[in-house]
Amino acid sequence: MASQIVAPKTLQEAIVLFSDPDKCHEYSASLRWPDGVTCPRCGHKEHSYISTRRKWFCKGCKKQFTTKVGTIFEDSPISMDKWMMAVWLIVNCKNGVSSYEIAKDIGVTQKSAWFMDHRIRRALQDGTFEKLSGEVEVDETFIGGKARNMHIEKRKRRITGTGTHDKVPVMGILERGGKVRTKVVPNRKKKALQAEIREHVEAGSALYSDALLSYEGLAGDFAHQVVDHAVAYVDGRVHTNGLENFWSLLKRAISGTYVSVEPFHLHRYLDEQAYRFNNRKLSDSQRFEQAMNNINGKRVTWNDVTGKDGSRATWLN
């Protein structure tokens, strides 16, 4: 099925396209199989199409399949138009979208929306392990601290016990002009932070951090320079402003949109924010199609597909 359907450019075009069941189906099949429909179970290319059920019958394995088989949408009774609308909202709302808003906007229960939201977020994580290089900023921040708005029992649970209270340490690593990676870390000690740096940053890269003692000892493997706020003017390149901007975007999204993020789920929200940041140069329709590619199990980026500049693979954490 060679689709002539053009990607929607705006939210309004997306609504119109996705709400037409035949066009929505044709479009999702063309995103899944740009080179022609292929059985997701056996890879066979010969099949017959059962238009009344929007399914194919594979002549290889003799089983039926839909566009959902083998993706995060499989086994879900929620229709593709709603799934695609949810993906559009998640990847294109700059400050994030809550599952409450998704429920309201696409007409599913809040429980369904929560489920969809988390499945989509998980799918946006990309399994690429390419290291960051060039000029790299590292920094940490704390997320949370809204205990006063919590129910008293929850608040007691959260605040008693460990000394970290309700705040969760998050580490960020940013390649200037490139991608950011974020991770919830157990603490800000040397072992935890340096392990992340060594895992994610190519040896020999220029590394900029603040004066936290946990970063001491990296100079052997990296060109490590510490931000000294007193003498920052000496070398204008030694700063972590890129990450500080990312943290402020992240905190605005979390406090404005998600109301309260349970620490258990924080990494998914971090991934979502990193995904939007890392794909900030794409248009809404490119970001949507790239997300659908990730969801469909392809490890390629929009740039890989179009051969445009910056063909580095996408990753999230």
Instruction: Write down the residue that tokens 């190519």 correspond to.
Output: 202
Residues 7-66 that bind Zn ion (CB under 5 A): 39, 41-42, 44, 58, 60-61
The CB-of-44 to Zn ion minimum distance in angstroms stands at 4
Closest CB to Zn ion among 44 and 265?
44
Residues 91-130 that bind Zn ion (CB under 5 A): none
The contacts of residue 133 (CB under 8 Å, 6+ apart) are 175, 201, 202, 204, 205
The CB-of-313 to Zn ion minimum distance in angstroms stands at 29
Q: Which of 25, 24, 62 is nearest to 41 (CA)?
A: 62
Q: Which of 84, 68, 71, 105 is nearest to 14 (CA)?
A: 84
Closest CB to Zn ion among 18 and 56?
56
The CB-of-78 to Zn ion minimum distance in angstroms stands at 24
User: Treating both helix axes as pointing N-terminal to C-terminal, what angle do 241-257 and 266-278 enclose, rounded to 10 degrees?
Assistant: 120
The CB-of-49 to Zn ion minimum distance in angstroms stands at 14
**Token pair in block for residue 85:** 């609308």
Task: Please classify residue 239 by burial: count the beta carbons closer than 10 Å to its beta carbon, then call 0-12 exposed, 13-18 middle and 19+ buried.
Answer: middle
CA distance 275 to 285: 15
Count of residues in contact with Zn ion, rule CB under 5 A? 7
The CB-of-28 to Zn ion minimum distance in angstroms stands at 19
Which x/- pattern over 154-173 shows residues binding Zn ion (rule: CB under 5 A)?
A: --------------------
User: Treating both helix axes as pointing N-terminal to C-terminal, what angle do 284-295 and 110-124 enclose, rounded to 10 degrees?
Assistant: 90
The CB-of-118 to Zn ion minimum distance in angstroms stands at 30
Closest CB to Zn ion among 39 and 295?
39
The single-letter code of the amino acid at 78 is I
Closest CB to Zn ion among 63 and 298?
63
Closest CB to Zn ion among 62 and 237?
62
Half-sphere exposure for 302 (CA within 13 Å, toward CB): 16
Whether residue 167 contacts residue 126, with contact meaning beta carbons closer than 8 Å, is answered with: no
Q: Does 80 bind Zn ion (CB under 5 A)?
A: no
Closest CB to Zn ion among 41 and 165?
41
The single-letter code of the amino acid at 65 is F
The CB-of-55 to Zn ion minimum distance in angstroms stands at 12
The CB-of-48 to Zn ion minimum distance in angstroms stands at 12
CA distance 173 to 207: 10
Closest CB to Zn ion among 17 and 58?
58
Whether residue 33 contacts residue 114, with contact meaning beta carbons closer than 8 Å, is answered with: no
Binding site for Zn ion (CB under 5 A): 39, 41-42, 44, 58, 60-61
